[in-house]
Homo-oligomer: A and B are copies of this chain.
Amino acid sequence: MPKTIILLADSSIELMPLKLTNNEIIKKYAKKRGKQPSTVILDSSYHHKAMSKLPESKKRGRPDILHFCLQNLIGSPLIRSNPESIEIYVHTINNEILEINPETRLPKNYNRFIGLMEQVFSKKVIKTNEKTLIEMLENPSIEELIVDIPKENRLIFSSKGSLIKLPEYFIDYAKKDLVLIIGAFPHSYFSENILRLSNKILSIYPQSIEAWVVLNRIIFSREITIL
């Protein structure tokens, strides 16, 4: 079975930026959760007002997008029945990279998911006795992670790309290893770090649609063309 690498790119998840840790609303939010302001994850649902001064604020503070994407991904038959053929990377807006073991069962409850991500950012690794479930990679280079996959088999999905038809488009890739790159951010566009990975930018629908809807369709299409 060919390999499938899923890269959630520029994911809108980060620890509270230093310049907001003295903000009164943020301090109150952290205190209510029994945490230090610097150890909580930025979330526009609660920090909207404080965030407005941040650069690129519209692209930030939406960890719910990552939560939806990972739930849809990890519950899909492609991943569940063939975890050994899958690699999952979460690239963040600050260029961190998390590797997620495809057999990890992530919390379905949003607040628990946020708590887990806060642990990942502080401890850098989440393990059980036997396996590493989530790990923040040191000195990460995306290029190194996907170096074995030629550029033409790395597909970036964006509403601004060339329109393709699913599931048919994946038939030609049925025997090839693939990197599937989906932006896990709400507005704006991919960073240069991502755009240099590939020249193939594809759209599955003429308008902008949510990251997890794109992801579901890509995974399903990949699955029915290789299984």
Contacts and interface: CB of A to CB of B under 8 A. Distances in A.
Contact of A45 (B80, B111, B210, B217): B111
A100 B217 CA distance: 24
A19 interface: no
A166 B216 CA distance: 14
B64 A209 contact: no
Contact of A109 (B71, B110, B213): B110
Contacts of A80: 207, 209
B45 A77 contact: no
A6 to B, nearest CB: 15
A121 interface: no
Looking at chain A's contact residues, the main secondary structure is helix
A17 interface: no
A205 B81 CA distance: 11
* Category for how many chain A residues contact B: 20 to 34
Contacts of A212: 71-72, 75
Contacts of A224: 166-167
Interface of A: 43, 45, 64-65, 68, 71-72, 75-77, 80, 108-112, 166-167, 205, 207, 209-210, 212-213, 216-217, 220, 224
Given A68-B71, A76-B213, A217-B220, 20 more contacts: A64-B109, A68-B68, A68-B108, A71-B212, A72-B212, A75-B209, A75-B210, A76-B209, A77-B205, A77-B207, A77-B209, A77-B213, A80-B207, A80-B209, A166-B224, A167-B167, A213-B216, A216-B216, A216-B220, A220-B220
